[in-house]
Copies of this chain bind each other. A is one copy, B any other.
Amino acid sequence: MRPPGARGATLKDVADRVGVHPGTVSRALNPATQGMVNPDTVRKVQRAAKELAYRPNPMARGLKTSRSMTVGIIVPDITNPLFPPIVKGAEAVLTEAGYTCLIGNTDNDIDRERDVLEAFIGRQVDGLIVASAQLEDEVLRHAADGDRPLVLVNRRVEGARIPLVVGDDAGGMEMAVRHLAELGHTRIAHLAGPQFLSTGRARARAFRQSMHEFGLTVDPNLVLECATYSVEAGAAAAAALFEATDAESAPTAIACGNDQIAIGTCDVLRERGLRCPQDVSVVGYNDMPYVDKLAPPLTTIRVPHALLGAEAARIMLRLLTGEDTATSVISLPVELVVRGSTAPPR
């Protein structure tokens, strides 16, 4: 009789049943070494393994091989609709390859990021996929020096050579500005995301650049940074924007750093008796779920988040198998989705 804590059959159990040595069973069951054992034995071993519902103990294996077959995925906040698709995309390809994923939240706090990172490293994860990077991220810069593969997704770190998968922020913002310019807007505002995040910075830069490109001038009073990527911060910035402008100088269109900021902006518009899109057009960024159900449905830039996650995972896999030595940087195309929140100026 097994002790109560018994977790299942071991290699030895299988060996006993077939009447061979545990080492042989190990070889027979491992596809890589299966060639060095008698096909007959292999079959018998496989049958016995199935009968006993043998499952290799990953801890024993990991202890021996010093690989855990786990990958840590670190996100700022799984509750932000942006990140679940990234996680899901990454998890799908990693699971397929036999890896299990650990998920950690940092709440955008760099101290918690370090804690999660250390916990995962303590857990012996084989690699790390990080979506919570800040532009100045010593924690990650340091982690990148370790011997453990690190892949960034969605956000980048300044001055570190780390493999990376992002959406094309510059291209996306250019589409947004072009769309507004083509509608005939000239006084276009930008409510930027936090400038300590690469997405916030890249989109803000792209905004200015695109404005020039389309022959429009950037009014400094019409470019504000939001403290966070939230509805509240977006509303606060939008309110400040209208406080600082009069009827003459007020924008007729606003390109927002992300969808939450756009939602906050629409709230403020409503409060102030301005109609969207008739009085002010608004463009979001990300195409979060259900922003097509808002009133008006939000025009936004669609980022293929699940793909981002999947690509990051593929890079991770290549890093893990040593196939890939170069530091890949992948920028995935984004897409303008025109809905009801944008229209020509009056």
Contact = CB atoms under 8 A, between A and B. Distances in A.
Interface of A: 4-7, 55-60, 62-63, 66, 68, 77-79, 81, 84-85, 87-88, 91, 95, 100-105, 119-124, 147, 231, 263, 266-267, 288-291, 293-295
A5 B66 contact: yes
A104 to B, nearest CB: 8
Chain A at the B interface: SS class? mixed
Contacts of A4: 147
A290 B284 CA distance: 15
A291 to B, nearest CB: 8
Contacts of A59: 58-60, 62-63, 68, 124
A122 B91 contact: no
Given A263-B290, A293-B263, A294-B295, A58 B124 contact: yes
A286 B176 CA distance: 33
Given A267-B293, A290-B294, A294-B294, 7 more contacts: A7-B124, A58-B123, A63-B63, A79-B289, A95-B119, A263-B290, A290-B291
Nearest to A115: B95
Given A119-B100, A289-B81, A57 B124 contact: yes
17 contacts: A7-B66, A57-B124, A58-B59, A58-B124, A59-B124, A78-B87, A81-B81, A81-B289, A91-B103, A91-B104, A91-B105, A100-B120, A102-B102, A103-B103, A231-B293, A267-B293, A294-B295
